[in-house]
């Protein structure tokens, strides 16, 4: 059961992004998720308005739109949202852009995934996506790295360019990040 775009069958579902009701007959995006109430590990969907999902999970929406055979009302609006996904501000708190991104550490509690040393408050850190196993389920979230450890941990030569595409940072922070990577 991959992510899907379909017409809403009723008006009972609410958008997981904006929390508003999704009206019957409106196109919606279904983000596949593990059903925690299923004993056999079945899947379920988190429903979103199509425009809301385009801003929240653009890569998944692009894939679902490519396989959707029907007409999509306001397709130009959705494609505009997909073409310009929101960037992270470089500040802590709030939703983040795609991984990897860089920011200043808001606390001194995070540890580097590579060297296992604390990342000091106010210093630059690189966030990469990682899976966290809680025992009952697995979720994804950010894992943090010192900039000097990030290239070795990821093995990605184009890491700085990917970070620049995902985050808006002052030029001095980008230059310092580039020097450490």
Q: Which of the four pLDDT bands, split at 50, 70 and 90, describes residue 92?
A: very low
Tally of domains within the chain:
2
In a domain, 96, yes or no: no
**Residue 93 vs residue 38, higher pLDDT:** 38
* pLDDT tens readout for residues 54-79: 988 888 999 999 999 999 998 999 98
In a domain, 31, yes or no: yes
Residue 128 forms part of a structural domain:
yes
- Residue 153: pLDDT band (50, 70, 90) is very high
| CATH code for the domain in which residue 39 is found | 3.30.1740.10
Q: Are 74 and 109 members of one domain?
A: no
Which of residues 24, 49, 83 is at a domain's end?
83
Taking a C-beta distance cutoff of 8 angstroms, is the pair 5, 29 a contact? yes
Domain end position, chosen among 83, 117, 150: 83
User: Of 55, 83, 111, at which residue does a domain stop?
Assistant: 83
Share of the chain above pLDDT 90, in %: 50
When pLDDT is averaged across residues 14-39 and rounded to a whole number, the result is 91
Nearest CA to 92 out of 103, 80, 84, 81 is that of 103
Same domain, residue pair 172 and 115: yes
pLDDT tens, 10-25?
A: 999 999 989 999 999 9
Domain that holds residue 166: 101-180
Q: β-pairing, 4-7 with 27-34? A: antiparallel
pLDDT over 60 (residue 90): no
Cβ 37 vs Cβ 82: under 8 Å:
no
Both 125 and 79 in one domain: the answer is no
Angle at 122 between CA 85 and CA 133, to 5 degrees: 65
Task: Specify the DSSP element, H or E, that contains 59.
Answer: helix 58-67
What is the mean pLDDT of the segment spanning 140-166? Answer: 90
* Mean of per-residue pLDDT scores for the chain: 87
CA-CA distance, 130 to 144, in Å (whole number)?
Answer: 9
Return the DSSP state at 167. Answer: B
Same domain, 173 and 122: yes
Angle, vertex CA 20, rays to CA 18 and CA 26, nearest 5: 105
Percentage of the chain beyond pLDDT 70 is 92
Residue 139 in 3-state DSSP? Answer: strand
């Amino acid at each position: 059961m991959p992510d899907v775009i379909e017409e809403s069958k009723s008006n009972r579902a609410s958008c997981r992004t904006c929390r508003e009701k999704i009206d019957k007959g409106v196109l919606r995006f279904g983000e596949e998720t593990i059903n925690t109430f299923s004993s056999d590990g079945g899947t379920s969907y988190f429903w979103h308005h199509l425009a809301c999902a385009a801003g929240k999970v653009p890569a998944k929406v692009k894939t679902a739109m490519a396989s959707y055979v029907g007409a999509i009302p306001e397709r130009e609006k959705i494609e505009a949202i997909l073409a310009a996904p929101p960037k992270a501000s470089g500040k802590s708190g709030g939703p983040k852009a795609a991984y990897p991104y860089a920011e200043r550490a808001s606390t001194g509690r995070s540890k580097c995934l590579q060297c296992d040393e604390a990342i000091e408050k106010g210093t630059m850190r690189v966030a990469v996506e990682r899976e966290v196993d809680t025992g009952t389920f697995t979720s994804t979230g950010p894992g943090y790295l010192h900039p000097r450890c990030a290239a070795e941990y990821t093995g990605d030569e184009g890491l700085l360019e990917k970070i620049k595409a995902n985050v808006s940072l002052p030029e001095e922070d980008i230059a310092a990040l580039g020097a450490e990577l």
